[in-house]
């Protein structure tokens, strides 16, 4: 693929002094292309012949109109495509092992951002099949049609593509927590901490895609902690399949950023049927642990009833932009960067509910496009910025990155740069005041399994490799 740059095009073809192409030039160009079309390929007799090594090259003009769906077209040794920018798309390629992923986008995202989206799609496929299985399949059959294994997973991938359009967690590589009083969150975390069993690695409590609480086995060390991408993919898988709302589900799930070649055995159950908003996810390295984890769920439900925690969760108020007390502020994204490393917590962000004038899905995508644009400018590989002020006819935006935070704020139009910075200062004060409610500052841990026990090796959690008896998560879709 050739990319035409704006600068330098003027010297490619001769021009008249009035900057328009002359009739003579067009006629000469036509004569030249006609000459090329009728030219014969001549070979120096002294040159070695390649006829025995290469497919025959036909000079028939009919090749120009050959049907690209035919076997003869597909069998040709090489194809070269020349594209122009007139289509208005950015085309990005990503090769991961035997798979080639392609994005053709009309959005405002940069090539780096589009490539990140393709990587999420690849990781979602890996979460269902594992990377080792994919590589093994294509080592045996390079022309294998992977759609056969992914049959029924179309909704998972479609949902992923949809949520990446509107959810800021993918932009910021972070997860969002439900705003909750620290005492209530601590009580829920302690309930999870007490309901454990050998080889249980992670206990996660979620509501509508937001994190309520997470506790983890102490053996989950630095290079084996849960990554935001893994949680996003896990959430998307649960959200995309109605099977998870039917009862207790036990299925192998791969967390690609944790270990792309192995499965965790995952217990998923909603704690508030039939609403199905509060979801419990337990991950184990033991494929026979279903009944043990079901007992953990029973203990958690008992603890939640004792503390009346479901009512507390339902009453938790989602962050609203008017809580900040800045009249000009329409929306914001905030990600703290100064979290002590020993907390071993997931990167998190906070953001208010999207309100008018961005209430519809179309307007939310428009707003996210603006954030994607600011993000690409701030994190430009050629010219990174710390502060960016951007004004449109409909809104004014400010992006600001320091060693302590990354922020994107959207204001009403006509707000000046100095006014925007002053408003952001007020916003930062409000976030500092509410940070214990907005973020999980010190996640709890537990210890259930000695290092020499099954599932642990050299101090690291080792998910189990799928054997032939494992039922794939695809059976749920």
- Residue 195 C-beta-side C-alpha neighbours within 13 Å: 27
pLDDT tens per residue across span 128-172: 999 999 999 999 999 899 988 898 889 999 999 999 989 999 999
Alpha helices, H only, 39-153: 71-74, 111-129, 131-140
Distance CA 160, CA 363 (A): 19
Q: Write down the pLDDT at residue 219.
A: 75
Q: Write down the pLDDT at residue 50.
A: 44
Residues 21, 13 contacting (CB under 8 angstroms): yes
Q: Please determine, for residue 47, whether its predicted confidence score (pLDDT) is greater than 80.
A: no
Q: Please determine, for residue 326, whether its predicted confidence score (pLDDT) is greater than 50.
A: yes
Tell me which residue has tokens 């990005």. Answer: 92
Mean pLDDT, all residues of the chain: 83
> Which segments within 170-245 are labelled E, that is strand?
175-176, 200-207, 210-217
pLDDT band at 9 (very low <50, low <70, confident <90, very high): very low
Q: Phi then psi for 150, rounded to 5 degrees?
A: -95, 10
Tell me which residue has tokens 């330098």. Answer: 8
Distance CA 265, CA 286 (A): 7
Distance CA 360, CA 374 (A): 21
From the number of C-beta atoms within 10 Å of its C-beta (0-12, 13-18, 19+), residue 78 rates as: exposed
- At 177 the three-state DSSP class reads strand
Enumerate domains of the chain plus CATH numbers: 321-438 (3.30.450)
Distance CA 455, CA 443 (A): 23
Between 54 and 334, the more confident residue is: 334
């Amino acid at each position: 693929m050739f990319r035409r740059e704006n600068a330098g095009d003027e010297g490619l073809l001769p021009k008249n002094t009035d900057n328009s192409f002359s009739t003579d030039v067009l006629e000469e160009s036509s004569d030249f292309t006609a000459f090329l079309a009728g030219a014969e390929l001549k070979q120096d007799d002294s040159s070695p012949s390649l006829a025995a090594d290469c497919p025959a090259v036909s000079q028939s003009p009919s090749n120009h109109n050959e049907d690209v769906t035919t076997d003869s077209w597909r069998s040709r040794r090489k194809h070269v495509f020349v594209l122009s920018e007139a289509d208005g798309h950015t085309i990005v390629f990503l090769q991961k092992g035997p798979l080639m992923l392609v994005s053709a986008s009309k959005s405002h995202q940069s090539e780096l951002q589009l490539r990140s989206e393709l990587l999420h799609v690849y990781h979602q496929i890996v979460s269902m099949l594992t990377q080792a299985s994919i590589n093994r399949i294509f080592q045996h059959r390079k022309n294998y049609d992977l759609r056969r294994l992914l049959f029924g997973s179309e909704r998972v991938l479609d949902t992923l593509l949809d949520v990446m359009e509107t959810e800021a967690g993918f932009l910021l590589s972070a997860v969002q927590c439900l705003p909750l009083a620290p005492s209530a969150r601590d009580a829920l975390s302690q309930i999870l901490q007490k309901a454990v069993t050998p080889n249980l690695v992670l206990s996660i409590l979620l509501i509508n895609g937001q994190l309520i609480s997470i506790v983890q086995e102490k053996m989950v060390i630095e290079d084996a902690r849960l990554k935001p991408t893994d949680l996003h993919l896990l959430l998307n898988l649960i959200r995309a399949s109605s099977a998870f709302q039917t009862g207790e589900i036990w299925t192998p799930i791969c967390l690609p950023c944790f270990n792309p070649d192995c499965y965790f055995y995952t217990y998923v159950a909603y704690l508030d049927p039939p609403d199905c908003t509060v979801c419990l996810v337990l991950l184990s390295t033991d494929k026979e642990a279903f009944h043990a984890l079901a007992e953990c769920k029973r203990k958690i439900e008992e603890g939640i009833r004792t503390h009346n925690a479901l009512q507390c969760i339902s009453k938790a108020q989602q962050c609203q932009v008017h809580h900040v007390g800045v009249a000009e502020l329409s929306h914001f994204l905030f990600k703290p960067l100064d979290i002590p490393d020993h907390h071993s917590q997931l990167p998190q962000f906070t953001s208010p509910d999207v309100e008018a004038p961005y209430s519809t899905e179309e307007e939310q995508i428009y707003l996210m496009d603006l954030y994607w644009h600011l993000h690409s400018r701030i994190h430009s590989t050629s010219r990174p910025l710390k502060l960016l002020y951007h004004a449109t006819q409909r809104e004014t935006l400010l992006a600001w990155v320091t060693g302590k935070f990354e922020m994107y704020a959207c204001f009403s139009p006509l707000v000046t740069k100095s006014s925007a910075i002053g408003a952001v200062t007020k916003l930062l004060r409000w976030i500092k005041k509410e940070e214990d409610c907005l973020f999980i500052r010190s996640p709890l841990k537990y210890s259930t399994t000695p290092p020499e026990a099954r599932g642990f090796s050299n101090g690291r959690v080792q998910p189990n490799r799928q054997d032939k008896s494992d039922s794939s998560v695809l059976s749920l879709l």
